[in-house]
């Protein structure tokens, strides 16, 4: 059974056919998913979903692009939600230097505050990184994020950076890009990083794997990610599914 560690079923793109999407996932062998909330509306919707569906879990946090909008009240709300039995992580959080909505110094401050909160509530963190690798690694070290660990979400960096993150108690999560023909780095990571440190995800509705690239992604397609990793490693799909599922449940504290 497959565990999709990063979905946005709380996105409006699923408003019309959520039940169909969930059924597709089940038929593809997806047993569990983590719905990621990253601002007020998406966190609220994520919590509604996990209350409705037994096999869904939530991660709550504040996205770096919108860091400028986060208030102390929002942080206190996230802390309160962290007590919910189906909230298994904080995030996605991190740094995003591609968009310029939130100044870098504000992104860094909000990132640090969420790491400290995660350590307080004893939950792992889910890291969003776009064009900010070195600053993210530096902050994780400075804030001793190793204490809680977490996930390098939709990892696109080098094997060397992956190993550095693993040393800080983080799992490397691969998504749709590992299936792209010219995605050299994700394929190298899939080849060189032991399965014991890998997770799989879709980041749906974004980053759909081949042959659906450019279309709306959905959790059922996480099987294509797992198949690609299995092919690269020369092992059965069942082994990838079993070990990444076990990794996710151990990280999130979900009883197997």
Binding residues for a divalent metal cation: 6, 8, 92, 128, 153, 203
Helix ranges restricted to H, the chain: 18-27, 40-52, 72-81, 104-121, 133-142, 159-166, 184-192, 222-233, 237-252
> Two tokens at 58?
């939530």
Q: Which residues are annotated as a binding site?
A: 6, 8, 92, 128, 153, 203
Quick check: 94 and 128 in contact, CB under 8 A? yes
DSSP letter for each residue of 113-181 = HHHHHHHHHT--EEEEEES-HHHHHHHHHHTTGGGT-EEETT--S-HHHHHHHHTTTEEEEE-GGGGST
φ and ψ of 152, to 5 deg: -90, 95
Collapse the DSSP code of 97 into the 3-class scheme (helix H, G, I; strand E, B; otherwise coil) and give the result: coil
Q: Which residues contact 137 (CB under 8 A, 6 or more apart)?
A: 161, 164, 165, 168
Judge contact between 55 and 87, C-beta under 8 A. no
Q: Which of 63, 164, 168 is nearest to 114 (CA)?
A: 63
Token pair belonging to 105:
């110094």
Q: Give the Cα-Cα-Cα angle 145, 146, 150 (nearest 5 degrees).
A: 80
């Amino acid at each position: 059974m497959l565990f999709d560690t990063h979905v946005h079923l709380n996105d409006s793109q699923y408003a019309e056919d959520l039940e169909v999407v969930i059924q597709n996932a089940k038929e593809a062998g997806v047993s569990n998913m983590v719905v990621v909330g990253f601002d007020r509306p998406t966190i609220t919707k994520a919590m509604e979903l996990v209350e409705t569906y037994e096999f869904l879990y939530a991660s709550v946090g504040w996205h770096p692009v919108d860091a400028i909008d986060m208030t102390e009240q929002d942080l206190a709300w996230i802390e309160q939600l962290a007590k919910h039995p189906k909230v298994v992580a904080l995030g996605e959080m991190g740094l995003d230097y591609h968009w310029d909505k939130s100044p870098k110094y504000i992104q860094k401050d909000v990132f640090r505050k969420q790491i400290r909160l995660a350590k307080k509530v004893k939950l792992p963190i889910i890291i969003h990184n776009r064009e900010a690798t070195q600053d993210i690694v530096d902050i994780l070290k400075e804030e001793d994020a190793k204490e809680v660990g977490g996930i390098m979400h939709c990892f696109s960096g080098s094997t060397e950076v992956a190993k550095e993150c693993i040393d800080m108690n983080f799992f490397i999560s691969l998504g749709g890009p590992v299936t792209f023909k010219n995605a050299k780095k994700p394929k190298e990571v899939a080849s060189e990083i032991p399965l014991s440190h890998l997770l799989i995800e879709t980041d749906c509705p974004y980053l759909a794997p081949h042959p659906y690239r450019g279309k709306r992604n959905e959790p059922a397609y996480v099987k294509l990610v797992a198949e690609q990793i299995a092919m690269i490693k020369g092992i059965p799909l069942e082994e990838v599914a079993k070990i990444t599922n076990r990794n996710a449940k151990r990280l999130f504290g979900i009883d197997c």
